[in-house]
Amino acid sequence: MAKGFNKGPAMGGQGGMMQQIQKLQKQMEEAQAKLAEETVTVTTGGGAIKVVMTGDQKCKSVEISPEFLKDADAEMLQDMVLSAVNMALDQSRDLQQKLMGPLAGGMPF
């Protein structure tokens, strides 16, 4: 076996890459935890429907104004709730991209 076979710059490079990967993993875990805490709020129908969603796409609440219920029919209510949920999902994904996107650029592969 040749002397110094397992030594040299290649080993140092691998160790450095592992440190980068571990650092990136920690940053991603921190960003995911932050996403779980951050929320977006969407209203439709002039405030008649309100949806709150976390940055990791968990719906926290759906509020429907009692005044709206007096005059709304079921189909209109369904459409407005669906619209509010989809808008909240879009905003949540935007938040996720904002927090996680820069980390994807740090991949050492």
32-95: CATH, from 2.40.30.10, 3.40.1190.20, 3.30.1310.10, 3.40.50.261: 3.30.1310.10
- Asked if residue 99 lies in contact with residue 16, where contact means CB atoms within 8 angstroms, the answer is no
* Mean per-residue pLDDT, 72-100: 91
- Write down the mean pLDDT value for the chain: 83
| Confidence check: pLDDT of 44 > 60 | yes
Domain segments of the chain: what residues? 32-95
2 confidence band (pLDDT: 50, 70, 90): low
Q: Give me the pLDDT at residue 79, please.
A: 93
- Asked if residue 85 lies in contact with residue 59, where contact means CB atoms within 8 angstroms, the answer is yes
pLDDT cut 70: percent of the chain above it: 82
Q: Give me the pLDDT at residue 3, please.
A: 55
- Asked if residue 24 lies in contact with residue 103, where contact means CB atoms within 8 angstroms, the answer is yes
Q: Give me the pLDDT at residue 91, please.
A: 95
